[in-house]
Amino acid sequence: MTFATLVQNTRYAFGENRLTLVAVVILALLLLCAMFGPLIAPHDPLATDGAVRLTAPSAAHWFGTDALGRDILSRVIVAARLDLGMAVSAVALSFVVGLALGAIAGYFGGWSERVLGRVMDTIMAFPLFVLAMGIVAALGNNVLNVILATMIINLPFYYRFARGEVNVRREMGYVEAARMGGNGPFAVLLHHIVPNILPPMMVQASLNMGWAILNAAGLSFIGLGVRAPTPEWGIMVSEGASNIISGEWWTFVFPGMALVLAVFSFNLLGDGLRDLLDPRRRT
């Protein structure tokens, strides 16, 4: 598409949907927290103080304190790094591996497609969160395995998308031309097909990020991956859950809302990107 059309579409996408702009702003804020968390946080996220345990939000502690007297605002800010980091790493890995495998299956077909397809179908035969639990249980209860598990359950998604897109483009004119030009199959894939499918795949990735965050948070909520006292939104909600019956809502609401904000923004961003790059797929 021409630059003019891109500008027109961007204006339309952002104009029609001011929310997309809001999403970008929120994500930028979260990214800031992730990168500079320890510097921005007003208190040390790990510092306990028995005297101020379970105090409601106040001027000193905007988000209140938890059962060990730690400042929740600081913990929420610093947790951004781990939550976003886990999700981004997992999605990035799935993306790259899924793209590579999908491109190979889509382009060469044959037994590579059959074998890979079978593997992906088998992954999809499990309820994905359950499979992630099983993987973390098997490989060991740590953050790296949570990332690995999240990566594995997201893989079929990118694989299928890449395979479909490569399949469609394999027969197109410009690919034929590249082949005629004497390019080997991998050169054709790398230089001609993959750059073309990157935009729609990026849309899928941003739509997928929200779900990856929820998955990682869910795993940590039930105690997998992250351990106390590490600040992470899922585990903070879990720690705060025991305080509901005594009414200290701030211990779980703020980390929970951080999750909601992150997922929401990524979803909106994904929608906005999709409207921008591929309006036909709107639902």
Partner 1 sequence: MSFVWKRVLGTVPSLIGIVVITFLLSHALPGDPAAYFAGPAANAESIAQTKAKLGLDKSLPEQFFKYAGDLLHGDLGTSLTTGQPVLSDLTARLPASLELTTCALFLAVVVAIPMGVWAATRPDSPVDHICRGTITVGSAFPTFFVGLLLVYILYFLLGLAPQPVGRLDEMLHSPPPHVTGAYLIDSLLAHDAGTFRASLAQLVLPSVSLALFALAPIARITRASMLAALGADFTRTARAGGLRARTVLITYAFRNALLPIANVLGMVFSFLLGSNVLVEQVFGWQGIGAYAVSAVLASDYAAVQGFVLMMALLYILLNLLVDVASTFIDPRVRFEG
Interacting residues with partner 1 (CB under 8 A): 118, 121-123, 125-131, 133-141, 210, 214, 217-218, 221-224, 234, 237-238, 240-241, 244-245, 247, 249, 252-253, 256, 259-260, 263-264, 267-268, 283
Torsion 64-67-73-74 (CA) sign: positive
Of the candidates 119, 104, 92, 89, the residue with the CA atom closest to the CA atom of residue 162: 104
CA–CA separation, 202 vs 158, rounded Å?
Answer: 10
CB of 209 to partner 1, least distance (A): 12
For residues 36 and 126, which CB has a smaller minimum distance to partner 1 in the complex? 126
For residues 193 and 217, which CB has a smaller minimum distance to partner 1 in the complex? 217
Of the candidates 169, 160, 170, 172, the residue with the CA atom closest to the CA atom of residue 123: 160
Omega of the bond leading into 229 within 30 degrees of 0 (cis): yes
CB of 97 to partner 1, least distance (A): 17
CB of 152 to partner 1, least distance (A): 10
CB of 68 to partner 1, least distance (A): 19
CB of 229 to partner 1, least distance (A): 17
For residues 47 and 241, which CB has a smaller minimum distance to partner 1 in the complex? 241
For residues 1 and 245, which CB has a smaller minimum distance to partner 1 in the complex? 245
For residues 40 and 88, which CB has a smaller minimum distance to partner 1 in the complex? 88
